[in-house]
Amino acid sequence: MIKPDYSQPVPNNLGKVHFVGIGGSGMSGLARLLLGMGHEVSGSDVRGSDNITALEALGAKITIGHDANNLGNADTVVVTSALWPNNPEYVLAKEKGLPVLHRSAMLAHLASRGKLIAVAGAHGKTTSTGMVVTGLDLLGADPSFVNGGVIQAYGASSAFGTGEHFVIEADESDSSFLHYDTDTVLITNVDPDHLDHFGSLEAFEGEFVKFAEAAKNLVVISSDDPGAVRVRTKLSHPRVLTFGERPDADVRVTSIDASGPKVSFELAYLGEKVALQLIIPGAHNAINAAGAVAVLVGHGFDFVKSAHAVSSFEGTVRRFELHGERRGVKVYDDFAHHPTEVVAALKAARAAVGSGKIITVFQPHLYSRTRIFAQEFADALALSDQVVVMDIYAAREDPEPGVTGALISDRFSDQSKVHYVPLWKDTPAVAAKLAESGDFIMTMGCGDVYKMVPELLEALEQ
């Protein structure tokens, strides 16, 4: 991995900007903003994706595969931590003395035009960011934003608005969220993750303390998540709002009914109450909505109007997203890649599937995360009726001896409901044979498993 270098100043004139790893959710969002500003944008990535197709349609010149020649006549280069130091484009850019900016430095530069609302947490941040953006937009604030996923209502993961607010999904995985000039912090949870980078739970939580303390105006933090509670006790910030189901939460959630395809609940704040129903399912999304509303009221917006605005959020791409139906079987895709996220996604699916079965096709992400959370993944995935475990999507990591998807499947207490299928080409047929009319098949993970959806639909037809 490339360690971020924040000493590199951002040039006054960015010129032609080249993105190394342009297909990632954060990188593609930045590229979209720069294209909208009139910059010439180029980039490269190891594989094609929907993000890349969308950027090419906007005028970006993108090459699949990394090669020094891809750099062309770039004036500024943007990189992500997921790259290796020997990446040929990165090496050439350094040799030529070009400004090489970490994506978080570029994001901080672009976001400096407004009051920055930074959303962080091990999970829930993409949805929560989308909810804050939706709320501000419907309240007439017209925010700018960069999200980690495409917001359904806007068909984009980023956009410039005319208002004073700039909302971003802030990445804690490499501590880059500490380098923003933040007005407001929203912490969805501090569930353990990225321990390969931080080394310990204490260090992980310590970075969230620093992140929160740096907020110039407001900290909004979960009242329910144990990690967030520990972080809250260490804060000396003068302005903190909490949200969740605890009786002492400032924005309190009660009466959650997640038994159907839409979650309903009540929110209470300063003596006012409002009953809501979201368009999307899952008890966890009621909690996410409370966090978004807390941000809005913390910025002076009316509580009831804020709550109704947030409830209009239509979801983000790759969050319980329906892609099609064949012979009565619906095929969904979900980004969940942490045990807590898996539990939340499967509970939402269970409420929606009724008497049908859930067949989860799970692609583990990262060798380190699989090794650390193998048992937790097995326990979470066991909420499915049947599970097909694929091999690991390595992303930025080299293989670890003995660490495969079997590390998860072997830990199922009921081996009759799990199938370890290491080869991609074999997976669609296995999943399709398990499904009957009324069932859901869910691809799950933050790698490229979503690309299997067309093959699953075809396998169901056959």
Residues with catalytic function: 125-126, 169
| Spatial contact of 295 and 184, defined as CB atoms under 8 Å apart | yes
Alpha helix locations (H) across 214-326?
A: 226-233, 283-298, 303-310
Give the span between the Cα atoms of 208 and 231, in whole angstroms. Answer: 7
Alpha helix locations (H) across 405-446?
A: 406-409, 427-434
Give the span between the Cα atoms of 231 and 220, in whole angstroms. Answer: 12
Per the structure block, which two tokens stand in for 235?
């804060």
Q: Count how many residues are written for the chain.
A: 462
Sheet of 240-244, strand order: 156-159, 144-151, 165-169, 115-120, 184-187, 218-222, 240-244, 251-257, 264-269, 272-277
Tell me which amino acid residue 173 is: S
Give the span between the Cα atoms of 172 and 182, in whole angstroms. Answer: 14
Give the span between the Cα atoms of 47 and 344, in whole angstroms. Answer: 29
| Spatial contact of 205 and 235, defined as CB atoms under 8 Å apart | no
Give the span between the Cα atoms of 93 and 99, in whole angstroms. Answer: 8
Tell me which amino acid residue 72 is: G
Alpha-carbon distance values, 224 to 46, 129, 245, 382 (Å): 40, 19, 7, 24
Tell me the DSSP string of 349-389.
Answer: HHHHHTTS-EEEEE--B-HHHHHHHHHHHHHHHTTSSEEEE
Per the structure block, which two tokens stand in for 214?
């740096």
| Spatial contact of 145 and 155, defined as CB atoms under 8 Å apart | no
Give the span between the Cα atoms of 31 and 14, in whole angstroms. Answer: 12
| Spatial contact of 363 and 443, defined as CB atoms under 8 Å apart | yes
